[in-house]
């Protein structure tokens, strides 16, 4: 009976959701065939599905995928190293933190990605512009979350360390850092997602590089089903990225 209740509560809604999605797709297909929707604005869903294979083969999607992933990884690596270091530095230097934390929070709320024309001038139309834009626009949350994680370590845990006579460096690496790690990764993950969004976005905007450019190019060629299929592909990639980082985050909070 318990498994039946579980089925009713967990599985049925999921199936219903998927069924609705399929129903919408079928309805769109029918509405286009009936002429209620202009097929030069929304292509047949069946046509979109059909062009998946075509764009993957003809538009060199594997290479583009690798390029975008590589850019995202490079930006993420820089984010992790620079962001965590800066956060840890601010945590150590209390005065500097008091002076700059509100500034960083303010910068975090500014639309930094709008600086891409500036980066274009500095770094040229290259992968470097894209990587740097992803890195810079996602840096503030990593710094802030690192700072938050380190400074919200519970006092009693530090007292436990002191009662066992830990040296300052042991206190840092055995207690402060592991205690802050889940929060730090929340920041890193947020930063990685920001970076990926902005990397694909800038690829699209400056028409250079991987998956973002693919969407732009197909749209400019007025390849409607291809554009829709490429968009679906980008969504797929970001969802996979999202789920993987979510798994890592859960793994860092053992037992919960």
Partner 1 sequence: MAQTGHLTAAPAAPNIWAAMPLKRRVMWLRIALLVGIVAVWEAVAASGLLFRDVVPSLLTVGRSLFDIVTKPDYKVTLGGSEIWIPEFYRHLWVTTGEVATAMTIGGLAGLVIGLLLGTNPFLSGAFERFLYYLGPTPKIIFFPIMIMWFGVGPGSKVAMGTISCFFPVVLSAAAGVRQVESVLIRVGRSFRLNSWQMVTKIYLPAMRPSIINGVRLGLGVAVIGTLLAETKLSNQGVGFLIINSYSTFDMPRMYALLMLLFMVAIGANALVGRASRG
Partner 2 sequence: MAAAPNASARPGDGGSASAEPLLVVDDIYKQFETPEGPVIAVDHISLKVMPGEFLSVIGPSGCGKSTLFNIMGGLLDDYQGRVSVAGETVKGPHASIGMIFQEESTFPWRTVIDNVAFPLEIAGMPKAERHDRALHFIDLVGLNGFERRYPAELSGGMRQRVSMARTLASEPKILLMDEPFAALDEQTRLLLGDKVVQIQQQLQQTTLLITHNLTEAVQLSDRILVMTYRPGKTKRIVEIKLPRPRSSEIVGSDAFGHYVAQIWNDLREEASRGLKDDESRRAERRR
From the centroid of its chain, how far is CA 79? 12
Contact partner at residue 95 from partner 1, partner 2, none, CB < 5 to 8 Å by partner kind: partner 1
The binder of partner 2 chosen from 181, 197, 231, 232 (CB under 8 A): 181
Site for partner 1 in 11-30 (CB under 8 A): 12-14, 16-17, 20-21
The binder of partner 1 chosen from 117, 154, 173, 178 (CB under 8 A): 117
Site for partner 2 in 130-169 (CB under 8 A): 154, 156-157, 159-160, 162-166
Query: Which range touches partner 1 (CB under 8 A), out of 52-60, 84-92, 157-165, 236-244?
Result: 236-244
φ, ψ dihedrals at 38, nearest 5°: -65, 120
Q: Please identify, using beta-carbon distances, which residue of 109 and 169 lies nearer to partner 1.
A: 109
The residues binding partner 2 (CB under 8 A) are 154, 156-157, 159-160, 162-166, 170, 174-175, 178-179, 181, 253-256
């Amino acid at each position: 009976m318990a498994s039946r209740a579980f089925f009713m509560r967990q599985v049925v809604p999921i199936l219903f959701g998927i069924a609705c999605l399929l129903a919408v797709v079928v309805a769109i297909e029918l509405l286009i065939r009936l002429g209620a929707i202009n097929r030069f604005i929304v292509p047949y869903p069946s046509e979109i599905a059909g062009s998946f294979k075509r764009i993957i083969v003809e538009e060199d999607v594997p290479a583009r995928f690798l390029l975008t992933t590589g850019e995202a990884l490079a930006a993420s690596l820089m984010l992790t190293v620079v962001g965590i270091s800066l956060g840890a530095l601010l945590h150590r230097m209390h005065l500097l933190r008091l002076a700059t934390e509100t500034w960083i929070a303010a910068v975090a709320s500014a639309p930094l990605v709008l600086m891409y024309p500036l980066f274009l001038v500095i770094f040229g139309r290259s992968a470097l512009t894209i990587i740097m834009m992803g890195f810079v626009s996602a840096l503030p949350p990593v710094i802030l979350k690192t700072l938050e994680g380190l400074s919200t370590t519970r006092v009693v845990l530090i007292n436990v360390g002191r009662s066992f006579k830990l040296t300052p460096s042991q206190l840092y690496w055995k207690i402060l850092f592991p205690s802050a790690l889940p929060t730090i990764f929340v920041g890193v993950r947020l930063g990685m997602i920001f970076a990926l969004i902005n990397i694909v976005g800038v690829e699209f905007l400056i028409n250079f590089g991987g998956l973002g450019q693919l969407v732009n190019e197909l749209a400019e060629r007025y390849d409607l089903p291809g554009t829709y299929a490429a968009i679906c592909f980008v969504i797929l990639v970001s969802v996979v990225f999202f789920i993987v980082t979510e798994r890592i985050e859960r793994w860092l909070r053992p037992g919960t």
